[in-house]
Amino acid sequence: MENNPKMAITSKGLKYLLVGLIVMVSGYILMSGGGSEDPEVFNYAMFDFRRMVAAPIVIILGIVIEIVAIMKVFKGKEE
């Protein structure tokens, strides 16, 4: 993709958007699981560090990457 002045996003910005999306999806994957097959038994695995701390931090990091990708003006190659 060439740097077209009419384009709202550059190729570098698009790469950052995709990286942010991948980071957010990985955060949601980290958050999944922890359920119990038996409804009578409470499973404390849903309150572990991975689901309560690490996954939200990864998702917020992905959102920050998305904001940077949208708001930052990336300079193209000067010719």
- For residues 74 and 13, is the Cβ–Cβ distance under 8 A? yes
What stretches in the chain show pLDDT beneath 50? Answer: 79
DSSP letter (8 states) at residue 50: I
pLDDT of residue 29: 94
pTM of the model: 0.79
Where does 1-79 show beta strands of DSSP type E?
none
| Cβ neighbours of 59 (radius 10 Å) | 18
